[in-house]
Amino acid sequence: MAAGRPQLNYGELVPKAEAYVAGEWANEQLPGGFKIVYPMVQNLAWHLGISKETLYARAEFSDVLSKLKELQENLLANNGLSGTTNPLITKMLLSAKHGYVEKTAAANENLNTNLNQDVSDLDEDAIKAKLAALRQSQGA
């Protein structure tokens, strides 16, 4: 008889994880009676009785984690647009976890990149041409 902790069959946990992402998360409560209002990887791990590091490390869960990320993005976008969630938290999570960028921030980043070009070795006509091209590219 082997001693120690029994080996988990992670494949058996996948249907439970899929059910959680499909909607069971909305009925889940954390210890202390706290209701889960947003599905997160750590909540899924807690639900399955494993660590979030194990979720990321095991190939069996890669599809479930992709679906969870898509669900998070969908919930954030829809609840943010409807005013159900705090707009600042929504904006932060969409940018930090889902790659959303404000258009003005992206435009300013491009402008800063273009403005940081060294023109010290150019003559006046070349500088004017670069400035005109920059204005045209920025829609000015």
pLDDT digits (tens, 9 = 90+) for 51-63: 999 999 999 999 9
Rounded to whole angstroms, the maximal C-alpha distance in the chain is 86
**Who wins on pLDDT, 84 or 115?**
84
First to last CA, the chain: 78
- pLDDT, one tens digit per residue, over 112-133 is 555 566 666 777 787 788 778 7
| pTM as predicted | 0.68
Residue ranges covered by each domain of the chain: 10-100, 104-137
Q: Which two tokens stand for residue 84?
A: 């159900």
**Who wins on pLDDT, 108 or 95?**
95
In contact, 90 and 80? CB cutoff 8 Å: yes
